[in-house]
Chain A
Amino acid sequence: MSEFVVRLGPLSVRVRRRAVAVVAVLLAVGAAVGAAAILYGEYTSTPAQALDALRGRGDVLAQVFVREVRLPRALAAVVVGAALGASGAIFQAVSGNPLGSPDIIGFTVGAATGAVTTIVLFGGTPAQVAAGALAGGSATAALVYLLARRDGGVAGPRLVLVGVGVGAVLSAVNSLLLVRSSLAAAQTAAVWLAGSLNAMSWATVTVAGGAGVLLCVLATLLSRPLGLLVMGDELAGGLGIRPQGVRAASIGVGVALVSLATAIAGPIAFVALAAPQLAGRLTRSPGPAVAPSMAMGAALVLCCDQVAQRLFAPVQLPVGVVTGSLGGAYMIWLLTREVRQRRR
């Protein structure tokens, strides 16, 4: 039997064994990398020292680094990765297109426009910039949704095309804002735009983590009705779901997820695109693999952030540079593979 049903009060979820195994493996990888992120660092010489610091003993500065720098940074990586993975899975399912990820259809760019506007025009603090990103992402999504709407609903390819167009316009707006800004603002914006987890505070992680968990639960609950939409609206309607309602709710949750991730860390490229595809390949799932995508996203961002911190140490790269480079390579591989398959 490759499936079983988990019941929790009135809720029941049908779960595939392979998906469970994939999630378990990804969680294990994430936990191992997370442990390494917390136990190994430049300041502490041994994992034992880091462990002491974690328990509030020993060198005061080591305690600061382990408890107030490494721990929130690792948790932020998990939240950001899971949110991006889930949001990618949702959008790819809604648009029925493997390229329908929020970074490609303009939502991430829109969140960036919100953040850059806050930085350039209002000189905002990090918290205000995060609020700007949330507002920008949501407004862009609303705009794309309205423009892509037709006959009371949204069709996948239209959503992707309108999103790409809006994204291109906003990306030009972002460049314009940067060129017209002061040095200080341009520099803050450039750092933010690279996507970085440097200097994560507990305050950020607690608030974002709470919102992230809530949204991820919603995303998981939406994964089954979303999967049914793949069969076509009529059939899905026959099975008792309202296709346009599910689509609208999914877009809402997906936008909230990607805006949240962008608000925390800036635009971290390609995770939302790659995580669901990698997860889908591993689970061989026919529908949207929301939970495995979350686990994949979290593991990816954790790993990439470790690479970003250690590759050229002591100089650290923004994590977005690493995910962007890896994602770019993945994209090229995906496209060339598709071209080759078509030739055959």
Chain B
Amino acid sequence: MARVLAVLLAVLAVAACTADPDATSAGGTRFVVDIEGTRVTVPERPERVVTLSEPTLDGALTLGVTPVGTTTGRGQSGVPNYLAGRAGGIPLLGSVAQPNFEAIGKARPDLILVDGTSINNNPPVIALLRKIAPTVYAGYAGGDWRVTFGYVAEALNRAERGREVLSGYDARVSTVHGRLGPRLAETYSVVRWQGSSASLILKELPAGLALTDLGLRRPPGQDRIGRGHSEPVSLENLADIDADWMFFGTLGGSSVGNPDAGGGAGVDAAREALAEARAVPGFTALKAYRGGRIVPVDGSLWTSTGGPLLMNLIVDDVERALTGS
């Protein structure tokens, strides 16, 4: 509720600013208020945008803006795997949470977009970024992807297009929901497999939100809001990962603190991880395994974070897996 209020206030503030004659006379710049309430002077038509997190990269790409620089995806050595096709050519300016300031400066951005999934509670870093270019802090870690996307769209002066994207997602969700029929009576697990252990993607994370949007139910052990990150399951509780269906992804062996542990995040990597998971005692006894209803998915898509592109691609995956088209 507080967040919704914050968005409303921000929208009002932006409206107030644009009504301000100063804003229009400022030579191609305008004001936006970011999620922290900071008034940022941004170009009216940003041309060199740098995104320093997955949600802001996803959001910019969704709105047809190709950043001139971005950071690596969580636990990955390049851009997030699910965006490789769209963003593969964008120069890397550091990794999530460890931006390379000089590389950012060299990219000569006119707008920097970042959020709490990358730079969290670190005013010195934001202050330094603001010396390089106008920086909009678009969302909090674990915040609503719609809210973050709203701030991204506002910063890029494409708020109208942003609203269309969100209503497009809602329309797509209800179409797919309509096709699921008997599948709606079953339960769905989302698992990230790392090394030889599992963690759960609960209902607050993007994949969990997409399943909820689609009206798909979770098994009892996963029918709750988590802490904003995947929740480890010890092997004696392996039954917690079971359901009628299991979406199964991996980010390789890596983590934020150890991004180069190797291993991919794609569907092939998920298949390999699944082959390894079979060796874990009890795994082949799981209902989803015996029923052949484990769906290998892209871990960067299903078990990390992003924006509208990510949400739509998850919905595509669900549709393909459950309706066969």
Contact = CB atoms under 8 A, between A and B. Distances in A.
B256 A316 contact: no
B125 interface: yes
Given A69-B128, A182-B142, A188 B121 contact: yes
Nearest to B118: A187
B92 A315 contact: yes
Interface of B: 72, 77, 91-95, 97-103, 105-106, 116-117, 120-125, 128, 131-132, 140-142, 227-229, 231-232, 255-260
Contacts of A14: none
B101 A199 contact: yes
B56 to A, nearest CB: 15
Contacts of B72: 315
Given A42-B103, A43-B106, A314 B229 contact: no
A237 interface: no
Contact of A183 (B123, B131, B229, B259): B229
23 contacts: A41-B102, A42-B100, A42-B103, A42-B106, A61-B105, A65-B101, A65-B102, A68-B131, A125-B122, A180-B227, A182-B141, A182-B228, A183-B227, A184-B116, A184-B141, A187-B97, A188-B120, A191-B257, A199-B101, A199-B128, A313-B100, A314-B100, A315-B72
A215 B211 CA distance: 57
A131 to B, nearest CB: 15
Contacts of A196: 98
A64 B257 contact: no
A318 interface: yes
List the 5 shortest-distance A-B pairs measured between CB atoms, nearest first: A183-B228, A184-B141, A43-B102, A42-B102, A314-B103
Interface in A116-166: 123-126
* From A65, A179, A184, residue with most partner B Cβ within 10 Å: A184
Contacts of A290: none
A182 B227 contact: yes
A199 B100 contact: no
Interface of A: 41-43, 61, 64-65, 68-69, 123-126, 179-188, 190-191, 193-194, 196, 198-199, 201, 309, 312-318, 321
B177 to A, nearest CB: 28
A235 to B, nearest CB: 47
Given A126-B124, A314-B94, A316-B95, A184 B142 contact: yes
A126 B131 CA distance: 19
A198 B71 CA distance: 15
A125 B123 contact: yes
B257 A193 contact: yes
Contacts of A201: 124
Contacts of A123: 121
B92 A184 contact: no
B227 A181 contact: yes
B123 to A, nearest CB: 7
B138 to A, nearest CB: 14
Nearest to B255: A190
B257 A183 contact: no
B114 to A, nearest CB: 13
B229 A194 contact: no
Nearest to B126: A199
A312 B259 CA distance: 12
A119 to B, nearest CB: 8
Contacts of A182: 141-142, 227-229
